[in-house]
């Protein structure tokens, strides 16, 4: 039995290729050890069968952005009841059209950029991409978010007008937004720079009780047919 050595070193001897090329092949999920994909260049091997999958390319892949359909009831923290538990390959949308191959490292060093309250559902964004992170953090007040809000109760007179313009929250006058009825018990909000609890407060200010909140869209990107509890990659041509 041979002495254990790094998978990347073994691959350089077997192909041959440079050490950096070997690391890229491995990190990008192109290398199997006894038939199992291994993505860690430092993985120790002895006499196992090492193989390179068809179509393998040694290239640096760009960081990814993930869109998740958050279910109501899961929080956005790091606890046991967090949406983070949904970020696994098993929960990827079946017909993800991005063309991106799922890799283990896509689920590390992700920034959650658009948290929702625990009892809200809808679009969440996680990203490794610095430009996306800057956009959704530094320029967040420039992006319109679309919500549907299930309500009960009776709206006061001029309620829609008050929702669209004229309310203050935590001592600050809210920016104008677009609000309309979608059905007898459902309001649509197109609004920028929302704060936690703001939409619930706005509805209660005009006599309504919030039953449920769901975010459909951020900027130009929406969930479309993304099932609850599943995620997909932001495609190369999609922009917020």
Domain around 129: 65-140+221-233
* Tokens 């703001």, located at residue: 198
On whether both 154 and 105 belong to a single domain, the answer is no
Domain assignment of residue 240, yes or no = no
On whether both 75 and 125 belong to a single domain, the answer is yes
In this prediction, residue 1 has a pLDDT band, given cuts at 50, 70 and 90, of: low
pLDDT value at position 193?
Answer: 81
On whether both 117 and 213 belong to a single domain, the answer is no
Angle at 30 between CA 29 and CA 31, to 5 degrees: 100
On whether both 84 and 115 belong to a single domain, the answer is yes
Whole-number mean pLDDT of the chain? Answer: 93
Six token digits for residue 220: 């130009």
16: domain CATH number? 3.10.290.10
Report CA-CA distances (Å) from 200 to 71, 74, 77, 180, 238: 18, 18, 20, 16, 30
Domain assignment of residue 183, yes or no = yes
Digit-coded pLDDT (tens) for 78-102: 778 899 999 999 999 999 999 999 9
Domain assignment of residue 59, yes or no = no
On whether both 47 and 98 belong to a single domain, the answer is no
pLDDT value at position 35?
Answer: 92
pTM: 0.88
Digit-coded pLDDT (tens) for 61-84: 899 999 999 999 999 987 788 999
Percentage of the chain exceeding pLDDT 70: 100
84: domain CATH number? 3.30.70.580
On whether both 47 and 164 belong to a single domain, the answer is no
How large is the average pLDDT for residues 126-155?
A: 93
pLDDT value at position 195?
Answer: 86
On whether both 111 and 15 belong to a single domain, the answer is no
On whether both 180 and 202 belong to a single domain, the answer is yes
- Number of domains into which the chain is organized: 3
Six token digits for residue 56: 């393998």
């Amino acid at each position: 039995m041979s002495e254990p050595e790094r998978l990347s070193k073994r691959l350089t001897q077997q192909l041959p290729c440079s050490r950096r090329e070997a690391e890229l092949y491995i990190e990008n999920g192109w290398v199997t050890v006894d038939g199992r994909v291994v993505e860690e260049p430092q993985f120790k091997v002895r006499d196992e069968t090492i193989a390179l999958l068809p179509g393998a390319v040694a290239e640096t892949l760009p960081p990814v952005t993930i869109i998740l359909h958050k279910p109501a009831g899961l929080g956005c923290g790091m606890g046991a009841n967090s949406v983070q538990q949904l970020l696994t390959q098993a929960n990827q949308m079946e017909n993800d059209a991005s063309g991106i191959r799922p890799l283990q490292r896509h689920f590390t060093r992700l920034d959650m950029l658009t948290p929702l309250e625990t009892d809200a559902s809808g679009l969440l964004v996680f990203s490794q991409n610095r430009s996306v992170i800057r956009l959704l953090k530094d320029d967040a007040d420039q992006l319109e978010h679309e919500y549907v809000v299930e309500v009960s109760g009776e709206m006061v007179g001029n309620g829609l007008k008050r929702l669209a313009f004229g309310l203050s929250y935590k001592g600050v006058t809210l920016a104008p937004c677009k609000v309309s009825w979608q059905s007898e018990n459902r309001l649509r909000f197109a609004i920028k720079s929302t704060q936690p609890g703001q939409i619930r407060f706005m509805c209660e200010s005009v006599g309504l009780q919030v039953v449920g909140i769901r975010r459909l869209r951020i900027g130009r990107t929406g969930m479309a047919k993304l099932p609850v509890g599943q995620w997909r990659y932001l495609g190369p041509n999609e922009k917020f």
